[in-house]
Amino acid sequence: MSLLILVTSIACFLAYSTSKRAVITKETKLLFWLHSNSKITKITTIVFFILSTVFAIYALGIAAGILTLFILVMLVWSLLVLLAPLQIVNYKLLLAIILISFFLEQTL
| pLDDT tens digit sequence for 60-80 | 999 999 999 999 999 999 988
User: What does pTM read for this prediction?
Assistant: 0.81
Q: Which residues contact 79 (CB under 8 A, 6 or more apart)?
A: 89
Cβ proximity of 31 and 24 under 8 Å:
yes
Q: Specify the pLDDT at position 25.
A: 65
To 5 degrees, how large is the angle CA 40–CA 25–CA 5? 55
Q: Specify the pLDDT at position 85.
A: 75
Domains of the chain by residue range: 2-107
Cβ proximity of 56 and 69 under 8 Å:
yes
* Residues of the chain under the 70 pLDDT cut: 23-27
